[in-house]
Amino acid sequence: MNYILRGIFWISVYVLLVTAPLFALLIGSAPAGRGFWWDLHVALGFSGATMMGMMFFLTARFRRAAGPFGMDIIYYFHRWTAVVALAFVAAHVVLVFAVEPGYLVLLDLSAMPASLRTGIGSATALAVLVGSSLGRQHLGIGYDLWRLWHVVFAVAALTLAIVHMELVGYHLGTPWKRWLWAGMGLSWFGAFVYVRIVKPFFMYRRPYRVVEVRRERGSAWTLVAEPVGHRGLTFLPGQFAWVTIGHSPFALKEHPFSFSSSAARPGRLEFTIKELGDFTRRIKDVQPGQPVYVDGPHGSFSPDRHDAAGYVFIAGGIGIAPILSMLRTLADRGDRRPLLLIYAGKTLEVMTGWEEIQGLQQRLNLQVVPVPENPPEGWEGLEGFLNEAKLVGYLPDHRSSREYFVCGPVPLTQLIEKALYRQRVPLENVHSELFDLV
């Protein structure tokens, strides 16, 4: 219940901050109205600009605010908030010409006023930002290059929007309204400075060092890092961090990875990483001694947040990484509650951590159900794609007394979530981790 109340509080704060400029429009004197559609045009413009600014807070990784939801949900919300903001800004631009067709003559570059240039520039920057994010993989844009573009276009879109509002000036005619927008703009800029300067500074003062890069099954590698000159960080099993390897924390070179090590041993961090992209394919080349900087822990995907009579873990592929952290932690704690792991993969040979999982059965009250798509000859267990029919026979009878943790490729996660719902597992007992934070 504590997380629910905190979630309601932070949602209320967000709604209040986004709508505050709209309420400010209703206070004091304002230009003579031009009808409903003009007022809607103005409201959409202010709303779009405010939502753009709030995106700097959404990506600032404030753990207290993200705690009730999980950082993956915050980033998912950030992504689609940007889409809504773009829709508002686009409608704002279209309506101004629909309501006042005479303004079309201003589209001539030689006659275009600065107020219109900045407005269209802001809308264009926001469109590029959203389009490059949603279509990054289809466009073949590398992650590091995309991050640089994302920062540049985000700052440009918001700066041009604020300049546009000041140049138009219709609804900022009183000093207190200007102060309101100045304060909001400074807070957004402050969030940007915190993320790009303040936080990296503290990370720089708490470095880690690579001590091992260990080969795993399934084209995966475990990077092991130890703290240098400090005691390290504590985390909950299943959480993740943004990790910068071999670069300054001020560089845009960080990547999110789940902890795979035991939370009971915080002095030694392990991240199990599958070769999926340009950066992850280079993990095997990382050398012991290289510096590592860690921004974390983040995320709410952890059994420590949900006390239960037992746990059910369902993993696909490298989705086993955070679940390995959970199992290792429970084993180190001597936990004897009943645990069920259903683990899907292409073959047994590529199931990351398979040998250790088998060994953990000796330390835990753990039932393991492997589901290889292509089983070895003579295999007598489950095989093929994991689906609802395969799950039914292994789900506990008292399903509401268990907490369920699902992690894997997005299609598998969505399939399992729907299957558990149809099997009358309470929604509040199902927890999943979204891989795609970009």
Single-letter code of the amino acid located at 410: V
CA dist 168 and 183 (Å) reads: 19
pLDDT in tens, 33-86: 567 888 888 888 889 999 999 998 888 888 888 888 888 888 888 988 999 999
Global pTM reads: 0.86
307-433: what fold?
A: Rossmann fold (3.40.50)
**130: Cβ contacts below 8 Å, ≥ 6 apart:** 82, 83, 86
Average per-residue pLDDT in the chain?
89
The pLDDT value recorded for residue 30 is 56
* Three-state SS sequence of 357-413: HHHHCCCCCEEEEEEECCCCCCCCCCCCCCCHHHHHCCCCCCHHHEEEEEECCHHHH
SS3 62: coil
Give the DSSP H or E segment for 432: strand 430-433
CB under 8 A, 24+ apart: contacts of 221-224: 221/272, 221/273, 221/275, 221/283, 221/284, 222/260, 222/270, 222/271, 222/272, 222/273, 223/270, 223/271, 223/273, 223/283, 223/286, 223/292, 224/261, 224/268, 224/269, 224/270
Which residues are registered as beta bridge partners of 341?
313, 368
Confidence grade of residue 437 (pLDDT, cut at 50, 70, 90): low
CA dist 54 and 18 (Å) reads: 7
The pLDDT value recorded for residue 5 is 86
Phi, psi torsion values for 292, nearest 5 degrees:
-135, 140
CA dist 323 and 406 (Å) reads: 9
Cβ 119 vs Cβ 164: under 8 Å: yes
Of 335, 352, 333, residue with least CA distance to 343: 352
Q: Is the preceding peptide bond at 297 cis, omega within 30 degrees of 0?
A: yes
Least confident among 48-52, 274-278, 280-284, 427-431? 274-278
pLDDT in tens, 360-388: 999 999 999 999 999 988 888 899 999 99
pLDDT in tens, 172-187: 767 777 788 888 888 9
CB count in 10 Å sphere of residue 103: 12
pLDDT at 336 over 60: yes
Q: How many residues does the structure list for the chain?
A: 438
The pLDDT value recorded for residue 58 is 87
Cβ 435 vs Cβ 409: under 8 Å: yes
| Domain 208-298 listed as CATH 1.10.10.10 | no
